[in-house]
Amino acid sequence: MNIQTTGSRCLGWSTWRVEKTTLCDCLHASLFSSHLTPALMPPGLKDKKAKIIYVMRNPKDIITSYYHFSSVYSEVDTPTSFEQLLEQYLMGNVVGSSWFDHIREWHSKKDQYNILFLTYEDMILDLKAAVTRICSFLGKNLSEAAIDQVVEKATFKTMKKDQKANYEFVPKERLSGNFMRKGQIGDWKNVFTVAQSQRVDQLIQEKLGDLSLKFIWE
């Protein structure tokens, strides 16, 4: 079985600019990734023939990751401080808009799609279990050996060395640091103050409390 790790064959519906990619290319792709909300996705997805895998990460680690990313990627504004980035992020004034709105939109409309929800933390803590869930969702009956091969290819350590995934092909004038940095749960503790952490907790309760979501913080 030949397994390849890919960043994305096509990002046609994504919020990111991709060189030499056309809508026509994407319509013929079997796989594409996106940061978009349901309202901006192809309406045909509601026929449930296509399958969606939605990956969510705890917001404190996302904010931390975005802070480091925006400091090395030339096409997004470089924050003057973590405090400034946090304010912008919580107001939704960043690429991809509001994390809170994105989570609510997809969870509230989940019955309209054939969708599997996973978390980044699920994959870090038990990647094999996550791969097995994905196989089941996709209707793929892989052998143990094949699953183990997928798991090995999909570890953070392996992907960080894989030029298809680590974005080292991006010119240094656009990306001056590592696209894949730590891949850990709980790195937010190295940058958040107690007050900032509590503020995020409060916003999650206010904006998403009725969804009964569970987050893994460390």
Neighbour-count burial for 94-111, b at 16+ CB within 10 Å, e otherwise: bebebbbebbbbbbeeee
In degrees and rounded to multiples of 5, residue 55 shows phi and psi of: -105, 125
d(Cα 55, Cα 85) in Å, to the nearest integer?
A: 23
CA dist 126 and 130 (Å) reads: 6
The residue from 28, 35, 102, 107 that is catalytic is 35
What six digits make up the tokens of 28?
């013929």
Tell me the two tokens of residue 48: 């449930």
Task: Examine the residue annotation and report whether 28 is marked as an active-site residue of this protein.
Answer: no
* DSSP reduced 3-state for 73: strand
Query: Residue 73's closest CA among 203, 178, 216?
Result: 178
Give, rounded to a whole angstrom, the gap between the first and last alpha carbons of the chain.
35
* Residues recognised as catalytic: 35
